[in-house]
């Protein structure tokens, strides 16, 4: 996302990270003891809609 637009900044990065990890956080109680690997494939799968959205106005504070 930073490659196609200007630097998104720390607050916006926090929003992106929340979006990326929301599924893991939501399911964490049911997955106690499980190991979750966040790799490129996981990121691409979970952020594909956000990464393709050139209008990032909802992430601007």
The predicted-structure confidence for 1-59, as pLDDT tens digits, reads as follows: 445 555 667 777 888 888 888 888 888 888 888 888 989 898 888 877 666 665 655 55
Indicate whether 22 belongs to any domain.
Answer: yes
3-state SS string for the chain: CCCCCCCCHHHHHHHHHHHHHHHHHHHHHHHCCCCCCCCHHHHHHHHHHHHHCCCCHHHCC
Query: What is the span of the domain harbouring residue 17?
Result: 9-59
Q: What pLDDT, on the 0 to 100 scale, is given for residue 24? A: 86
3 in a structural domain: no
User: What is the number of domains present in the chain?
Assistant: 1
The answer to whether residue 2 sits within a structural domain is: no
Q: Residue 33: inside a domain, yes or no?
A: yes
Task: Indicate if the pLDDT at residue 60 is higher than 80.
Answer: no
* pTM summary value: 0.54
How far is 10 from 12, CA to CA, in rounded Å?
5
Tell me, yes or no, whether 4 lies in a domain.
no
Tokens of 54: 């050139």
Separation of first and last alpha carbons in the chain: 17
Q: Is residue 30 part of a domain?
A: yes
Residue 1 is assigned to a structural domain of this protein: no
């Amino acid at each position: 996302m930073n490659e196609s637009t200007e630097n998104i900044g720390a607050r916006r990065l926090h929003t992106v990270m929340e979006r990326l990890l929301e599924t893991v956080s939501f399911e964490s109680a049911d997955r106690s003891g499980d190991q979750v690997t966040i790799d490129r494939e996981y990121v691409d799968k979970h952020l594909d809609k956000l990464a393709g959205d050139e209008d990032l106005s909802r992430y601007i504070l």
